[in-house]
Structures are given as structure tokens and as C-alpha cells.
Structure 1
Amino acid sequence: MNNWMLIALLSISTYLSRVIGVEIMAGREMNATLRLYFNYVPIAIIAALIVNQMLVPTDGGTVFSLPVLIGCLATAITIKVIHTFLPSLIIGIAAGLLARYFL
């Protein structure tokens, strides 16, 4: 599936789940299970996008992308250490690019 198509479908599903949830639950006390669902939808979508980028189809098989893995790990470790999103993201992108061009 085209990456842009996947991003569009996932963003539409996230938006619809949020809007439907707000419209249905307006003025009501939200169940803990439903609240948990709404908290994990964005995380699940980001995980799906990352996995889609890590597993690259080539010649009828699937290849694991090491630069994407290195970038993701660098971002995760950096965000755990400094607790700031944007610098962590920049470090992860830089690590992924360095891995792509030098490994």
C-alpha cells in the first residue's frame, strides 16, 4: 500500500474516532475502557507507520530497514533521557540519516 494512502487512511480513522467519541460522549461520564481506547489510538497509528517503514518489500520478500530502526531507537533513548520531543526527533532523524549513508 502506498505510504501516503496509509497515512491518509490512518489520519481519517483517528479523526473520525475522536469526533464520533466526542459527539456520542458529550455531557456523559466516560467509561475507563473507552478513555483508554482514545488514549491509545494515536500511539497505535504511529506504531503502524513505523512498522510500515521498517519492513520494506523487495523482490517478493521483506527486508528489515536498519536505518529506520536506528533512528527510532535513537529517538526513543533521547526522549527518555532529555524528556523533550523536538530535539529527540531531530537526533533520531540525524541518526537515521547517518545510518543510511554510512552503514
Structure 2
Amino acid sequence: MLNHWFLIGFLSVTTYLSRIIGLEFMAGQQMSPTLRLYFQYVPIGIITALIMKQVLIPGEGQLSISVPVLVGCISTAIAIKVIKVFLPSVAIGVLFGLLVRHFL
């Protein structure tokens, strides 16, 4: 469990530093489209890596899927597409994940 928190903290600091260094370095300069694209996709890449680590669980030499986490992620994605508000969408995803974990 400590490794997960270390990973989350490390990736958060790395993301923050890359943005700060990028802003300081590029202050007053026009950013290239490639650099702008990089800064847009760093947080998405980190969140995806963290989510996939929770969905795909290694065990006995192979990967298994955590159905409650997968259902929570999918229901959050659907909710955010429908209601377009982040926090209630996450709450809906957590609720569906807990329901699946409890009843399956």
C-alpha cells in the first residue's frame, strides 16, 4: 500500500514540476504545438496509468480484472458524458463500484 502512495506522490510532484519548469522556461515565448500537446496529455497519461494499475491486478503469473473498479470507471465515464459535472460523476462511479463489490 505504501508503494501506491509513493507512486501517487511521485507522479504528482513530477507533474507539478514539469508544469512549473515549463511555465518558467516558456514565459513570454510562444509554445510549439508539440509542446502544448505534451502539457495537455501528461495529466491524462498519469491518471490512466494509476487507473489501469487498479483495474488490472497481477496474480499467479497473469493479470486479472477487478470488476468493481472497472464498473466504477465505466460508470464514472458515462456519468461525466451525460451530466458533464466532475464531482457527482465520481460519486456515481464510486457508488456503482461499491454496489458491484457488495453484491458480486
- Category of TM-score, reference length = shorter chain: over 0.9
Q: Per-residue displacement from partner, 1:15-66 (whole Å, max 9, x unpaired)?
A: 1110110111011011111011101111111101100111122344322101
Whether 2:56 is the aligned partner of 1:78: answer no
Q: Which amino acid aligns with 2:64?
A: V
Which residue is 1:45 aligned to? 46
Q: Any unmatched runs of 5+ in structure 2?
A: none
Q: TM-score, normalised by structure 2?
A: 0.92
Runs of 4+ displaced beyond 4 Å:
none
1:78 aligned partner, one-letter code: A
Query: Which residue is equivalent to 1:20?
Result: 21
* Structure 1: runs of 5 or more not aligned: none
In 2: Cα distance, 1:65 partner to 1:16 partner:
32
Alpha-carbon separation, structure 2, partners of 1:3 and 1:101: 24
AA at the equivalent of 1:15? Y
Identity of aligned residues (%): 60
Does 2:69 match 1:68?
A: yes
2-side partners of 1:79 and 1:20: how far apart?
31
CA RMSD of superposed structures (Å)? 1.3
Q: Give the equivalent residue in structure 1 for 2:32.
A: 31
Between Structure 1 and Structure 2, how many residues are aligned? 103
TM-score for both structures, normalised by structure 1: 0.93
Q: Give, in whole Å, the separation in 2 of the partners of 1:100 and 1:57.
A: 19
> Is 1:2 aligned to residue 33 of structure 2?
no
